[in-house]
Amino acid sequence: MIELKNTVKKFDSFTALDGVNLTIEKGTSFGLLGSNGAGKSTILRLISGIYAPESGEVIIDGESVFDNVDIKQKVFFINDETIQFGGFTLKKLKDFYKDYYKSFSEEIFESLRKKIGLPLDKKINTFSKGMKRQAIVIIGLACRTDYLLLDEAFDGLDPTMRIIVKNMLIDAMLDRQLTAIISSHNLKEINEVCDKAALLHNGKIVFSRDIDDVKGSVHKIQVVFSKNEDGTIANYKKEDFSQDGIEILHYEQSQSICFIIAKGDIETIKAALVPKHPMLTEVIPLTLEEIFVYELEVLGYDSNDNITE
């Protein structure tokens, strides 16, 4: 288990993380979502022991991470930059990490390398961006750590390479209950790989939930109301639809058509509309991006967060 307890991290006068509390269970595929500068990479560097927090705790399996060699053996961090490996060949990079990780598996390394056809003796700075990312993912998986951290894991990869990297990760998660923590501003990627996610904004956790719970608890309903006897159209407000068990995240009305974004059980929401005698009630699927944007608005955050579908 990974735990951040009231964790604060500052860089000079800038507060990158502001009292973050986060729990990541072992065997979870966990996504960190947020715009650039939200604090995703800082969390990964704290978990990997690169940074020490100004206050609070960063704990893995009951022990503090920073300056703890035994705990760091359980973690492999894949940075969003690969320039530091440019002068290595894949063979030299493999040997470098093999010296540090006692659990390194030559068998896994060679199996994955052959599967995607990466050369052993060419310098990594001659690789394409996608090949560089594949190379370090192979190394990370071959180290057989309990925790694998990936910062913007799929950024800049073409669709084919994205699929290859995702499949390698998913296979490792299934084979040995690898805990993968993946930061991204791309909701589609997190939705495809992760079963839980946390949304960060300005160094704070907005929420941390199962993705299926997020998608199953927020609904978009289009409602068409009939005209009154005098030909007028009822002009409803957001508060007119709120009741026990229902939270209205967003409401807008254009003539007789209303769009309601509501959190709660869908049948309870539909039942709340019946007394207003709608002509039509239609549930419209929401993307994960739309759900997060509406939740941010309710919490008072700027919904113009650079998160992409």
Domains of the chain: 2-202 (3.40.50.300), 214-298 (3.30.70)
pTM of the model: 0.81
CB 59 within 8 A of CB 6: no
The pLDDT of residue 302: 57
Q: Indicate if the pLDDT at residue 307 is higher than 70.
A: no
Q: Indicate if the pLDDT at residue 286 is higher than 90.
A: no
Q: What is the mean pLDDT of residues 45-50?
A: 95
User: How open is the CA angle 173-177-178, to the nearest 5 degrees?
Assistant: 60
Which band of pLDDT confidence, cut at 50, 70 and 90, is reported for residue 51? very high
Q: Indicate if the pLDDT at residue 297 is higher than 60.
A: yes
Is the alpha carbon torsion for 181, 148, 189, 133 positive or negative? positive
The pLDDT of residue 132: 87
Residue percentage of the chain with pLDDT more than 90:
45
Q: Please write the tens of the pLDDT for every residue from 191-245.
A: 888 899 998 888 999 888 888 887 778 899 999 988 777 777 778 888 888 776 7
**How far apart (Å, rounded) are the C-alpha atoms in residues 87 and 122?**
10
Q: Indicate if the pLDDT at residue 94 is higher than 90.
A: yes
The pLDDT of residue 74: 95
240 — phi, psi (to 5°)? Answer: -70, -15
267 — phi, psi (to 5°)? Answer: -70, -35
Q: What is the mean pLDDT of the chain?
A: 87
Which band of pLDDT confidence, cut at 50, 70 and 90, is reported for residue 309? very low
77 or 233, which is more confident? Answer: 77
